[in-house]
Amino acid sequence: ALLGQQETNLSDGSQQRVTQLLKTAEPGGLYGAAGDLSDALPYRDRPGGLRAIAQVHDRYILAEQPDGLCLIEQHIAHERVLYERLNDRWQLVPLTTPVVLEGLNEKQLEQFERLGLAPEEFGPNRWAIRQAPEPLRDRDDLPDALLELSLGGNLDTAQVAIACRTAIRNGTPLDLATLQTLLDDWQRTRNPRTCPHGRPICLTLSESSLARFFRRSWVVGKSHGI
Amino acid sequence: ALLGQQETNLSDGSQQRVTQLLKTAEPGGLYGAAGDLSDALPYRDRPGGLRAIAQVHDRYILAEQPDGLCLIEQHIAHERVLYERLNDRWQLVPLTTPVVLEGLNEKQLEQFERLGLAPEEFGPNRWAIRQAPEPLRDRDDLPDALLELSLGGNLDTAQVAIACRTAIRNGTPLDLATLQTLLDDWQRTRNPRTCPHGRPICLTLSESSLARFFRRSWVVGKSHGI
């Protein structure tokens, strides 16, 4: 279903070609033997082995490792880090200023109770929320975040939503030290393969595949022709 | 034949998978509609549009362009630049110290004549070469280079061999300014697609293909699930 949803986004022939290239790299094994390039992810054997060397388009971390290179999407790598932290330590903290929400329905109120947020009646059709999950405490978008949490799901769904909201956005310029810290944190997660929504975090190009693309082995033996 | 020769290098399943990924990106159209990612090379429309942002493994130039990123192998990009310069201006220059070669056979002597190098008898079974193609003039490996040129081929073959010998080697660390100069020179060549031996120089990953790999369009619409 997940891949099915993607398909809708295709348009022209050139996109189709590119798609073909990357299809074989997608995790999930849907494409048979050619399906799972990401099995070759290096950090399983060599935790900490990735070295950040550049940020691309304020969106990807380019990392070098002994056998090739990786492109990591910064937002979802950070999302994975934050999500696992929330899993390990879910903490509600008191707010200095309560958030007042209007027009909540029964299901939303139940969802708040389920998350332990205990809305308090605050005049007609209004409720005060006096505590919040720790990562949301100081955010300007706290009311929106709380409304999002009220819309359904369980505690895990809430943690995914909070991780997504608070992770570094794509489009944010980051210096090399920050990129390296993010890489290190991400490599230490229990499931670095995907973000909590199931998206792949890392595209690996191994040196052997690059050597093949650039036909290095071919040229050494054969190409001079003299 | 060229691709056939490559095939011999395959070994295990994981290499096979990677191969599958990159096969579709190889120029030449052998793989049908999925065959030619490099058609999307950006420099045709936007000469000078590539910005060097890092060197990977002392071997690749990572370049950003508005629609994605490119990985360029430094040695063969430089080879292309040098080869076209030799095409445009083939120049023999006098040597301050002649090179004395021993044991040349008839074919080698003919080949030297063909290239205009005019070997001169210099004692029994010895010949002096008193001029050389300009890029070889000050090289320590000049005797080897001359012997290589004597082994066959025409003027074009000689120019390819000289370009290959004098191009920056893979494994050479280069600073960003040098990488950018090389990129700029390469983008201005008449045929930036391949090196003179026919190897692809640039692997392009378009932003749309990366967005698809990382399922960006999917997550925006569908993934939160609350």
Number of H helices, E strands in chain B: 9, 7
Q: Which residue of A has its CA nearest to B4?
A: A218
Contact, B76 vs B167, CB < 8 A?
A: yes
Shortest Cα–Cα distance, A121 to chain B (Å): 24
Q: What residues of chain A, 40 to 79, have a C-beta less than 8 Å from chain B?
A: 40, 53-54, 56-57, 60, 62, 64, 69, 71, 73, 76
Looking at B111-217, which runs of residues are DSSP E strands? 120-121, 126-133, 202-206
Quickly tell me which residue has 């130039």 as its tokens: B61
d(CA B33, CA B19): 17
Q: Looking at this predicted complex, what is its ipTM?
A: 0.73
CATH of domain B2-76+173-218: 3.30.1540.20
Closest by CA position to B225, among listed A146, A196, A200, A76: A196
Please, where are the H alpha helices in A89-154? 106-114, 142-150
Which CATH superfamily groups domain B85-166? MutL, C-terminal domain, regulatory subdomain (3.30.1370.100)
Are B37 and A18 in contact (CB < 8 Å)?
Answer: yes
**DSSP string for residues in A71-84:** EEEHHHHHHHHHHH
Give A168's DSSP letter.
P
Q: In what order do the strands lie in the sheet with B51-56?
A: B51-56, B60-65, B68-73, B202-206
Q: Tell me the pLDDT of chain B (226 aa) as tens digits.
A: 233 333 333 233 333 333 344 433 333 322 222 223 333 454 444 556 899 999 999 999 999 988 889 999 999 999 999 999 999 999 999 999 999 999 999 999 999 999 999 899 999 999 999 999 999 999 999 999 999 999 988 899 999 999 999 999 999 999 999 999 999 999 999 999 999 989 999 998 888 888 888 988 765 444 454 3
Residue numbers of chain A with a pLDDT score lower than 50:
1-40, 42-45, 220-223, 225-226
Q: What is the pLDDT of residue A224?
A: 53
Contact, A198 vs A58, CB < 8 A?
A: no
Structural class in CATH, domain A91-166:
alpha beta
Measured between beta carbons, the chain B residues lying within 8 angstroms of A225 are 153, 157, 160
Cβ-count burial A128-150 (b if 16+ within 10 Å, e if not): bbbbbbbbbeeeeebeebbebbb
Instruction: State both tokens at B7.
Output: 């095939």
Q: What is the pLDDT of residue B5?
A: 30
Domain boundaries, chain B: 2-76+173-218, 85-166
User: How confident is the model over A79-121, as pLDDT tens digits?
Assistant: 999 999 999 999 999 999 999 999 999 999 999 999 999 899 9
Shortest Cα–Cα distance, A85 to chain B (Å): 19
Measured between beta carbons, the chain A residues lying within 8 angstroms of B199 are 214-216, 218-219, 223
Domains B2-76+173-218 and B85-166 are alike in CATH topology: no
Q: What residues of chain B, 99 to 138, have a C-beta less than 8 Å from chain A?
A: none
Q: What is the pLDDT of residue B140?
A: 95
Q: What residues of chain A, 182 to 201, have a C-beta less than 8 Å from chain B?
A: 197-201
From the candidates B2, B20, B79, B155, which should be mutated to test the interface with A, based on the most A CB atoms within 10 A?
B20
User: How confident is the model over A64-82, as pLDDT tens digits?
Assistant: 988 889 999 999 999 999 9
Q: Does B152 touch chain A (CB under 8 A)?
A: yes
How confident is the prediction for chain A on average, in pLDDT?
Answer: 80
Rg (CA), chain B: 22
Q: What is the pLDDT of residue A206?
A: 87
